[in-house]
Chains A and B, each alone.
Chain A
Amino acid sequence: QKEVEQNSGPLSVPEGAIASLNCTYSDRVSQSFFWYRQYSGKSPELIMSIYSNGDKEDGRFTAQLNKASQYVSLLIRDSQPSDSATYLCAVTKGTSGTYKYIFGTGTRLKVLA
């Protein structure tokens, strides 16, 4: 079992729709969760972090965390063609001061104009 799993996609949604990206992780003691966006040929860019159960909203983005189910998701409202990118889920592993980030393989999102 991979430590962080994502559906590779591509996930295609029409412009203006809600895109829903999902991620599961295997380590129950993970404490910090992140979503990165990576455009082709560019480095990953942090778009959301979430640390406690529930929802966290930032503009058009909402991250959702359910530690009991070991599940984290990212919702993108009013999707735009500029949102077309690969979205990487990351989870921390280890203890403070020695932790590292484990990345999923990413989900490719295509927003159709």
Chain B
Amino acid sequence: SAVISQKPSRDICQRGTSLTIQCQVDSQVTMMFWYRQQPGQSLTLIATANQGSEATYESGFVIDKFPISRPNLTFSTLTVSNMSPEDSSIYLCSVTGFGEQYFGPGTRLTVT
């Protein structure tokens, strides 16, 4: 399986600011995804990060709020923009390899 790292591991941010989360994989992967997991909840897919093109967003998520970059096959960023307390969550990067999906360690975001 791929080794996935995320930075930062956690952060506390003020409302109205933005935070960019980085995801780095130790090998080239075709598909990368960004998920959100709110306290006590399951995983919600935010978007699929496409290399060299715009991300594909799920219903309820928009590019202005969650801009995503994917400049190459090993790296992606997710920005949470104009944050509010409702954005407090764990944000997870994941990749697929050999038909299976693996998750990074997550970024725990608290918005005050």
Contact = CB atoms under 8 A, between A and B. Distances in A.
Q: Chain A interface residue count: which class? A: 10 to 19
A100 B43 contact: no
Contacts of A49: 99-100
A54 B90 CA distance: 35
A52 to B, nearest CB: 13
Interface in B88-112: 90, 92, 94, 99-106
B99 A100 contact: no
Contact of B101 (A34, A51, A106): A34
A88 interface: yes
B101 A90 contact: yes
Q: Chain B interface residue count: which class? A: 10 to 19
Contacts, number: 40
Contact of B99 (A32, A45, A102, A106): A32
A103 interface: yes
B99 A103 contact: no
A94 B94 CA distance: 17
A103 B100 contact: no
Given A32-B99, A43-B106, A46-B101, A100 B42 contact: no
Interface string A71-113: 0000000000000000010100000010011111110000000
Given A49-B100, A105-B42, 18 more contacts: A34-B100, A42-B105, A43-B103, A43-B104, A43-B106, A44-B43, A44-B92, A44-B103, A45-B103, A46-B1, A46-B102, A51-B99, A88-B42, A100-B33, A103-B42, A103-B43, A105-B41, A106-B42
Interface of A: 32, 34, 42-46, 49, 51, 88, 90, 97, 100-106
Interface of B: 1, 30, 33, 41-43, 45, 48, 90, 92, 94, 99-106
14 contacts: A34-B100, A43-B104, A43-B106, A44-B43, A44-B92, A45-B103, A46-B100, A49-B100, A88-B42, A88-B43, A97-B30, A100-B48, A101-B33, A106-B42
